[in-house]
């Protein structure tokens, strides 16, 4: 089942840099680390990203790893937790307005 997550405002710059690098490197993956994995999230589902109060983009889940460490090659930060690896970036039309939240929600539209 597809999920929705919010990108924190203080992460916007990092997100822009990571997305730019992702778009340059065909075949690359992006990842999202969570403390708790959504029990209904499966390979092939999509993760929708809320940024600036709207659903900006989505990506397809290709791998899920529990309790792992992942380093971002762009920002050199290290993340620990449950990791969702994604590809197939699609920009959404920006018509879905959502107030930011922590954690995740299952897609409801």
What percentage of the chain exceeds 70 in pLDDT?
A: 100
Could you give the C-alpha distances from 55 to 22, 36, 66, 69, in angstroms and in order? 19, 22, 26, 27
Supply the pLDDT for residue 73.
Answer: 87
pLDDT in tens, 17-26: 999 999 998 8
Q: Are 31 and 84 in contact (CB under 8 A)?
A: yes
pTM of the entire predicted model = 0.94
- Give the residue-averaged pLDDT of 87-107: 95
> Which single residue is written with the structure tokens 């916007």?
12
> What would the two tokens of residue 95 be?
């018509």
Supply the pLDDT for residue 87.
Answer: 97
Q: What is the DSSP letter of 35?
A: S
Q: In DSSP terms, which residues pair with 79 in a beta bridge?
A: 70
- What top-level class would CATH report for the domain 3-106? mainly beta
């Amino acid at each position: 089942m597809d999920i929705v997550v919010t990108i924190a405002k203080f992460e916007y710059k990092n997100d822009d840099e990571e997305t730019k690098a992702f778009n340059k490197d065909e075949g690359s993956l992006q990842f999202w680390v969570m403390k708790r994995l959504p029990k209904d999230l499966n390979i092939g589902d999509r993760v929708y990203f809320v940024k600036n109060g709207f659903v900006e983009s989505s990506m397809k889940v290709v791998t899920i790893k529990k309790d792992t460490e992942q380093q971002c090659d762009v920002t050199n930060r290290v993340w620990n937790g449950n990791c969702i690896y994604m590809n197939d970036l699609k920009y959404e039309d920006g018509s879905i307005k959502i107030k930011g939240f922590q954690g995740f929600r299952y897609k409801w539209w």
